[in-house]
Structure 1
Amino acid sequence: MTETPNPNIVDADTLTGEMRPIRRMVVALGSNLGERFATLQGAVDALADTPDVWVTGVSPVYESDPVDCPPDSQSFLNAVVLADTTLSVHRLIDRAHAIEDAFDRTRGAVKNAPRTLDVDLIVVGDRRSDTDELRLPHPRAHERGFVLKPWLDLEPDAELLDRGPVATLLANVGTEGIKLREDLVLEFE
């Protein structure tokens, strides 16, 4: 992993005085089992309750057709959360998994099986990782309209690290199978 933190933006640890860079992160949420909207709201709340994570924006909710999922999979509700953090990527992926587990996410042998909750780190600052545990930036985000569209709603000038402007990426993949759910609005404090 490489990192070039912004030396002008730091957060002092209140116990040790250690200075840690503040990084912008983009998190994609998805659910296609159970109480999908309540699960997404719970995930937003859990992220907002995470020490050293400050949620700065939550996208509109979209309903999307399942992509690369087993036959007969139900549609997903998707959203994107923007946040600032001083946590390491390893702490963030552990937190993402803990949030999934809290909503009874099961991981099985079937790839992309239906799930109560998916919490994916898309980007964390300019961090790069290519391990079995974590790939940053997310390796398929540039192919996923259900990630790009809500992200673009929050940040019209957003760029996906190593891939380019989100608007251009979305134009390439399109929005077929993705529908805005104006009746569902996620809240954050």
Structure 2
Amino acid sequence: MATVLLGIGSNVNREKNIASGLQALRGELGAFRCSPVYESAAVGFDGDPFLNLVIQIDTSLAVGELRHYLRALENDFGRVRACDKFSSRTLDVDILTYDNAVGVVDGVSLPRDEILTNAFVLKPLADLVPDAVHPRADRSYAALWADYPNHSQSLWLAEFQISDSDFI
């Protein structure tokens, strides 16, 4: 079993898509732990604010199998893959880390670069697994968040929250 951290976000019908997406993940992947939910302005484009969180799962799926499942799930939620990387999303689920893998595995770059550049990824990681160590930076997520330099990215705790008890 691999321990995997997944980043989840939505800025289209956010609460419904996040809640329904988590239920689908629970049904397919089993129990998981989740961070608090954060709200943030869209990064890289003008769009509605996002809700973001991180979950921790244990899975026997290989990276490629997990990626295939997550893409299918996003598609089921009406995800439109625009040519531009930065666009509105009904549901976005990214593999952030897969155990301590470093490099490109089954077409997935691990750990995901966004961990170190986006507050909406790093802060939920620091909340959920503060003492876990980033596989490339070799520092804990709590320490990385404490030294996070990009304070231009606005981030705040969302009113919409998920309870771990629903998913463990």
Q: TM-score, normalised by structure 1?
A: 0.79
Residue 31 of structure 2 aligns to a residue whose secondary structure is strand
Alpha-carbon separation, structure 2, partners of 1:62 and 1:133: 28
Q: Is residue 2:38 matched to residue 1:62?
A: yes
Unaligned runs of 5+ in 1: 1-21
Alpha-carbon separation, structure 1, partners of 2:106 and 2:4: 20
Alpha-carbon separation, structure 2, partners of 1:173 and 1:86: 36
Q: Match for 2:3 among 15, 20, 24?
A: 24
Alpha-carbon separation, structure 1, partners of 2:59 and 2:38: 25
Q: 4+ residue runs of structure 1 moved beyond 4 angstroms?
A: none
Alpha-carbon separation, structure 2, partners of 1:44 and 1:183: 14
Q: Match for 1:113 among 87, 90, 102?
A: 87
Alpha-carbon separation, structure 1, partners of 2:19 and 2:65: 21
Distance 1:126 1:183, change over 3 A: closer
User: Considering only CA atoms, is the larger Rg found in Structure 1 or Structure 2?
Assistant: 1
Q: Is the contact made by 2:17 and 2:77 (CA closer than 8 Å) also made in structure 1? A: yes
Q: Is residue 2:158 matched to residue 1:158?
A: no
Unaligned runs of 5+ in 2: none
Q: Is residue 2:14 matched to residue 1:40?
A: no
Specify the alignment match of 1:103 in structure 2: 77
Letter of the 1:29 counterpart: I
Q: Is residue 2:127 matched to residue 1:127?
A: no
Q: 77-86 or 147-156: which moved more?
A: 147-156
Q: 141-150 or 173-182: which moved more?
A: 173-182
Distance 1:46 1:106, change over 3 A: same
Q: Is the contact made by 1:144 and 1:173 (CA closer than 8 Å) also made in structure 2? A: no
Specify the alignment match of 1:10 in structure 2: none
Q: TM-score, normalised by structure 2?
A: 0.88
Q: Which has the higher helix share?
A: 2
Q: Match for 2:154 among 132, 153, 177?
A: 177
Q: 142-151 or 89-98: which moved more?
A: 142-151
| Residues matched between the structures, number | 163
RMSD (Å) for aligned C-alpha atoms = 1.9
Kindly provide the CA deviation profile for residues 44-85 of structure 1, in whole angstroms up to 9, marking residues without a partner as x. 1122112xx3333011111011112x2x31110001111111
Kindly provide the CA deviation profile for residues 84-136 of structure 1, in whole angstroms up to 9, marking residues without a partner as x. 11110000100110110111001011221111111000001122342693111
Residue 123 of structure 1 aligns to a residue whose secondary structure is strand
Alpha-carbon separation, structure 2, partners of 1:90 and 1:36: 27
